[in-house]
Amino acid sequence: MTGNTTHATSRSSRLTAVLTALLLATGLLFGLAGCSGDGDGSAADSTAMADSAAADTTKAEPPKEKSIRVNVGKVRRGDLVMPVYADGTIRTPRSVEIKTKVGGELLSVHVRDGDRVRRGQVLARIDPRQYEITLEESRYRHLQALSQMAAEADTFTVNTSALREFESGRKDLDRALDRGTISRDEHRARLLEVEMNALQKGAFRDAVFQQRTGLAEARMAEQRAQLDLEYTEIRAPFAGIVQNLQMVAGENVTVSQSVCSIFDNDELEATVNVLEADLGNLSEGRPVLLAVPATGDTLQVRVDVISPTLNEATRTCELVIRFPNPEGRFRPGMFVRAQIAGFVYPDMLMIPSDALLIRDDRPLIFKRDGDRAKWLYVTIGRQNDEWVEIQQVHSGGSLAPDEEVVVSDHMTLAHEAKIKVRKTLPPSDRWAFAKTDGE
């Protein structure tokens, strides 16, 4: 027991010593703080620091408002075109397959695929000797018939008065047929009667004499032979480009055998198919924007022909649009997309389509007012790819032609926001190339 008591007393003494040391250290710290100055001076310094901070806050300038850079476009008043869309292809209205008109050995071919030829240029030649002989034979028969006619010339005379009487009677019958006073069968019967009467009076003695002597037949045979000889030279019927050449020199050809094709691409036409529902308001002469994706061109043209019939299977109508092709950029078979001026609404107040925003399901635009953007809630009407009709301004001010509206960087723009114009976009009207009538 004595050992345990002694051990407890020793632990208590050590704890007391530790507490005493801590108290002494705390008192020393407070003493040092008091020696650094009196209490009034410390309070004054703290107050001075607070006043200085407040003064610095009062003197600081507010942050500068940042301008938002935007593009603007102008409000305009004019015609609003509602286009009708149609697809189609380009074709050439002048293409022909050249075929032989006589047979024989092909002596020479003077063109190749892709050659441009002029009207009347010789494309190939067929051996002409057989046709030259035939022509000479027909000329001899012609001369023989003339000789016989000359020998018998004094045996007949022509009754010119009977011939004039025949001509007058035939004209009277033709007029009666046109008026409907006689039928076609009656016209034929009475004309035969007039002809027989004139023949009996000697009105056609020269023609009968030529027939009897063989002169008429010889003359026609000579003309046929001359024509066949000309056909041995195969010529281009019009200027164009040669394609699908199918013959070589030395080949024996027959009548109606294909030689080549010729395409005239200087004047082309596009055929597009318009839906029946879009057809009612269209008319020939309407402006068309004809896009050719293969070349990147958009042509400003007009409707030339509207088909009088409708395709019952597709419920579409074919439109023909003609245009020049002087540089040969366009080729038959190319795809085209047409925008046709379907409806034209005159005297519309319009804004560029890029200016229109929708917030809370309400149409909204920002009008430029100096260096500020002010919102206008509006009622919109008809619109195409470029322009939107403004029917009414509900709040925020007014809108007039030539005023400017924001067309870019305005998705998060706020009312009275400060703006700086980056670019003023000129009015774009792709239909301005042609004056159209309002509907």
pLDDT tens digits, residue range 408-435?
999 989 999 999 999 999 888 888 887 6
Averaged pLDDT, 32-53: 49
The Cα–Cα gap between 257 and 231 comes to 13
Tokens matching residue 264: 């005239």
pLDDT tens digits, residue range 289-340?
999 999 999 999 999 999 999 999 999 999 999 999 988 899 999 999 999 9
- Ramachandran area for residue 178 (φ above 0: left; ψ -120 to 50: alpha; else beta): alpha
pLDDT tens digits, residue range 378-400?
999 999 989 999 999 988 789 99
Name the phi and psi angles at 311, rounded to 5: -75, 115
| Position 4 confidence tier, pLDDT thresholds 50, 70, 90 | very low
The residues pairing with 350 across neighbouring beta strands, listed in sequence order, are 76, 389
Class of domain 70-78+346-425: mainly beta
Two domains, one topology: 70-78+346-425 and 82-93+266-344: no
- Name the CATH superfamily for 82-93+266-344: Efflux pump adaptor protein, beta barrel domain (2.40.30.170)
Whole-model pTM: value is: 0.64
Instruction: Extract the runs of DSSP E, i.e. beta strands, from 127-251.
Output: 233-235, 240-243
- In this predicted structure, the answer to whether residue 52 has a pLDDT above a threshold of 50 is yes
- In this predicted structure, the answer to whether residue 209 has a pLDDT above a threshold of 70 is no
Task: Look at residue 31 in the predicted model and tell me its pLDDT.
Answer: 46
- Ramachandran area for residue 154 (φ above 0: left; ψ -120 to 50: alpha; else beta): alpha
| Position 231 confidence tier, pLDDT thresholds 50, 70, 90 | very high
Task: Look at residue 316 in the predicted model and tell me its pLDDT.
Answer: 95
Task: Look at residue 395 in the predicted model and tell me its pLDDT.
Answer: 80
Task: Look at residue 249 in the predicted model and tell me its pLDDT.
Answer: 94
Mean pLDDT (the chain, rounded): 84
Count of CB atoms situated within 10 Å of the CB of 281: 14
Task: Look at residue 357 in the predicted model and tell me its pLDDT.
Answer: 95
The domain locations on the chain are: 70-78+346-425, 82-93+266-344, 101-262
Task: Look at residue 16 in the predicted model and tell me its pLDDT.
Answer: 52
